[in-house]
């Protein structure tokens, strides 16, 4: 029988067990002014869902910024360079999933 793992998005860190083959997910909290710098997920697609606060998603190839507030999600194609920035005065909390 397959093992099932349960985790809460309320706690920062890994949401999916290391044994997962392709699917990865984390709960991330950013303080005001903090960012996750430029990166790409190589051959994996990514979904970002904002739980609390607001972040700015900046896409390098399009030189544009997308504002995301609580309850909003965005799909990022495989290989797309991007960064996530908290420009607000409050802590932001989001979950990402890559596959």
Which residue did the predictor score with more confidence, 51 or 12? 51
Residues of the domain holding 60? 29-98
Whether 69 is covered by a domain: the verdict is yes
For the sheet containing 54-59, what is the strand order?
35-39, 82-85, 54-59, 64-69
Taking all residues of the chain, what is their mean pLDDT, rounded to a whole number?
A: 88
How far from chain centre, in Å, is Cα 24?
10
Whether 35 is covered by a domain: the verdict is yes
Burial 59-86 (b: 16+ CB within 10 A, else e): beeeeeeeebeeeeebebeeebebbbbb
Whether 52 is covered by a domain: the verdict is yes
CATH of the domain at 41: 2.60.120.10
Whether 65 is covered by a domain: the verdict is yes
Structurally, the chain folds into a number of domains equal to 1
Q: Is the dihedral of CA 9, 28, 82, 20 positive or negative?
A: negative
Whether 56 is covered by a domain: the verdict is yes
pTM equals 0.81
pLDDT in tens, 58-76: 998 877 789 999 999 999 9
Residue 11's pLDDT band (boundaries 50, 70, 90)? low
Residue 4's pLDDT band (boundaries 50, 70, 90)? low
- The answer to whether residue 94 scores a pLDDT higher than 80 is yes
């Amino acid at each position: 029988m397959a093992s099932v793992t349960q985790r809460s998005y309320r706690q920062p860190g890994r949401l999916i067990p290391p044994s997962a083959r392709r699917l990865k997910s984390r709960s991330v909290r950013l303080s005001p002014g903090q960012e996750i710098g430029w990166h790409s997920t190589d051959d994996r697609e990514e979904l970002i869902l904002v739980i609390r606060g607001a972040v700015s998603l900046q896409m390098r190839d399009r030189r544009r910024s997308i504002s995301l507030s609580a309850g909003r999600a965005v799909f990022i194609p495989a290989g797309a360079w991007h960064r996530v920035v908290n420009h607000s005065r409050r802590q932001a909390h989001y979950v990402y999933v890559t596959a």
